[in-house]
Structure 1
């Protein structure tokens, strides 16, 4: 066995006898903060993690595939970002954690024929995500997946969308995957309602936002969304598909009298 211990507690141990017995890994009370130095800043803001992980897994080669499984779990934790560069100017101090989760777990099992995985996480009273996935190793292997989600706290969008601040709303839905690994088919639907958000650097506030994701009979999906900015409404429509050689995600944007920029130096109203 080889073990590494963190100064703040927790240990990660591994045992390897490759390829006969494969690799076994186990870890207890591993602080998420250990990976902070390797996380790239988001728009100049450092990412901070809170929580502990337990890890238990094994892996060994079996022909052209693998056999084994792993489990990763964390009882509770959170993610926050450092201060915005302009937060002192716009009166927007750090509000704390953008994500607060509980009962996080990933379980995966695989053998030469199948890959089976499950994910579950709660958001401390503000929703959940449950997902499961089953397929094989080959491109033509059948694909069977389900995703159920309900999220009423959307601050996590700040991790992925530049400049957005205080996003609010509700995301809920069920999305399925069928077909094969090389040609996946989408099913189900998801909705966004009561969405609002600020863009302080641009002086904008979006309100009355809503959106839909609807699977179509051919396995692709239709996307529609709208939000009010100033006196106008911005509308988005498009689709998501893995067929053809074009870009999988294609969106059209249009609107009338949309407030696109609103600061003391510049004000722009556009008809995209």
Structure 2
């Protein structure tokens, strides 16, 4: 029997990225798409607990999918507990835009969906494709200019191997980032500290009242061995991530500070 995959994302059910992933994964697996109805980037692992969630069938590219009026995490929960899917793997992506460093994985809806699946005991993979122009993240994801060709090949390769060989120990999410210009090499990486140089731009509205845009340029590189460095070389970055955020190396230090 074919393995079963629940496929979700944070760019929305109409995104070209999720359907590129579907094309790659459906060659060897039974894939069910359960994804947000609208763009939900940068919502992290937030969950809709103060309002009802609507979910219904839609047909995209002649394929049945489920459109969820909520967050990426909601989509995973609806897939597992309302639709009662029993996937062997949850895949989130392919996201339009890279998800690299401590900074991004804490805010990314793509990673948030994968972490939610892992929290319910399902091995999960997050997939993201670097963009040439950061403005592309804000365009309609259903009409992307990105070339998903190499990412589709690597998606199938990586997910096949994870299903065949089993998920790595002490890993909850495998975070995969595809570079915009691909060398053909995989690199196992750790998270860089930052991806952006954070800034704030102040503007005035027509009435002279201030408002603000959070912005800042991308960092061009990071130390060797990090995901940011791998992508800068054109390599596919593969980073194992864990749900456990405990700072084990800090346990003795906090005992000392609190005199315990």
Query: Do they superpose with TM above 0.5?
Result: no
More helix by share: 2
Greater CA radius of gyration, 1 or 2? 1
TM-score normalised by structure 2 residue count:
0.22
Q: TM-score normalized by structure 1?
A: 0.22
Higher strand share: 1
